[in-house]
Amino acid sequence: MTFFHQDVPLSWYLLLSALLFSLGVVGFLIKRNLITVFMSIELMLNAVNLSFVTFAYQWHAVKGQIFVFFVMVVAAAEAAVGLAIIIAVFRARATLSVDRIDLMKL
């Protein structure tokens, strides 16, 4: 095969997944806006999804892909509820800065 028709080693996919995950954690740590933090979480989830699909290819197990399916469903539900919570918090605190939202009592 030519250079560009080579097969991509699966380890590269996994590395990409690890990188994306780390970037997600970093984002979680350094971002101040609550919504952006939430988005970093979504990024982490996607990274994990990628690694699941990779391994599904590796072991030829469709259950890996089914798991990704379920992760997507749950992530969607989580996003919905989480954003609703953010809206509620914004109504109470009038701020979306993570550092300012540090009390349980609204």
- Binding letters toward another protein, positions 53-72, x by CB under 8 A: xx-xxx-xxxx-xx-xxx-x
Interface with another protein, residue 79, by CB under 8 A: yes
Number of residues interacting with another protein: please give it, by CB under 8 A: 88
Interface with another protein, residue 48, by CB under 8 A: no
Give min distance, CB of 99 to another protein, in A: 6
Residues 6+ apart with CB under 8 A from 14: 51, 54
Q: d(Cα 106, Cα 87) in Å, to the nearest integer?
A: 13
Geometric angle at alpha carbon 55, from 18 and 28, rounded to 5°: 25
Residues 16 to 45: which contact another protein by CB under 8 A?
Answer: 16, 18-33, 35-40, 42-43
Three-state secondary-structure class, residue 97: strand
Give min distance, CB of 41 to another protein, in A: 10
Residues 81 to 100: which contact another protein by CB under 8 A?
Answer: 81, 83-100
User: Is-contact 40 24, C-beta < 8 A?
Assistant: yes
